[in-house]
Structure 1
Amino acid sequence: MMQICDSYNQKHSLFNAMNRFIAAVNNMDQTVMVPSLLRDVPLQDEEEKVNSVRTAGNGPGAYLYDKDVYSYYVLLKSIRDDIEWGVFQREDRRKEKVDVTAVDLSRMEKEGDGEDLEKLFQYHLSGLHTVLSKLTRKANTLTNRYKQEIGISSWGH
């Protein structure tokens, strides 16, 4: 009985969510041989795009609905690299990330004395898991869209 419970919990762990995302992006990266073919190709059909924008409203991800498949490709690879190598690995992003982290840490030190750190951790962990799941689906969608564009949609089924 313990084995089944552990297996269920492991399926929903952050570590496994990160591994699924990295695997999906690696698959996407291996499938997409000519990334420039992704330029100006919408990720969604027009009807799907209208429905998605309606449900997303003006949320933080709404700006991505006007991007092409190539933009998602670059974004997904960048996030994968940040997960695998850390956010301070790339020199061009180092200053930006350090400044944001310093501001956030300063704010947290002032406000954090009375906060329930476990509740805060669970909130962010849940959010990160949700975002990684969505990004994994995006990587898989992008891979399938690329296959459609180059006429190999039957591969891998």
Structure 2
Amino acid sequence: MMQINSEFSGHKHSLLNVMNRFLAAANNMDETIMVPSLLRDVPLEDQDSQAPALNNNNIDDSYSGKQRDMYEHYLLLKSIKNDMEWGLLKREVNGGPSFLEMAVKQEEDEPKGGGGVPAEDTSDLESQFHYHLRGLFGVLSKLTLQADHLTNRYKREIGGGNFMR
């Protein structure tokens, strides 16, 4: 098993720290929501006051509208958490593509001469890495806020508002 140097994982702005915060929020959501079916048909609140808009980092604003209720949103967050913890192998065993697999497939299918970056072009790998790293930081931060919001909303719905963190 790979050991992670605590010097790097302890920095507030490290990728590992951001990933761990999302995983902790998703685990808290999972432990708090004992009966996920109670989330069915409960519409998502307008999260503009709770979380930043989803149109940053090239994320389509219509994406948030695809989760019609809190239950679907819960399943999405749980699926992303599982993909982060288990990687692509678990999806291959269970069948069906993960969100990560679909993104990789879409990137591979882009025309090489068009707007995509050709596979042979390795001269600008550092800027590509930083671009995707910034996007990953943004997405993980938003997912963490959404998991916390969903957990707190569940607590309010079942009357456990006194225990919100």
Name the TM tier (shorter chain): 0.7 to 0.9
Q: Percent identity?
A: 49
CA separation of 1:55/1:101 partners in 2, compared to 1, >3 Å: closer, same or farther? Answer: closer
Q: CA 1:112 to 1:105, structure 2 compared with 1: closer, same or farther past 3 Å?
A: farther
**Counterpart of 1:70?**
71
The within-5 A match list for 1:1-157 is 10-45=11-46, 56=55, 60-65=60-65, 67-90=68-91, 91-93=95-97, 97=101, 100=105, 103=108, 107=112, 110-113=118-121, 115-157=123-165
Q: TM-score, normalised by structure 2?
A: 0.73
Mapped partners of 1:73, 1:15: distance in 2: 23
Q: TM-score, normalised by structure 1?
A: 0.76
Larger helix fraction of residues = 1
Higher relative contact order, structure no. (Cα contacts within 8 Å, ≥ 6 residues apart): 1
- Alpha carbons of structure 1 residues 82 and 59: separation in structure 2 relative to 1, 3 Å: closer
- Output the aligned Cα RMSD: 3.4
> Residues 25 and 148 of structure 2 are in contact (CA less than 8 Å); yes or no, is this contact kept in structure 1?
yes
5+ residue gaps, structure 2, are: 1-6
Runs ≥4 residues deviating over 4 A: 104-109
Which structure 1 residue ranges, 5 or more long, are not aligned?
Answer: 1-5
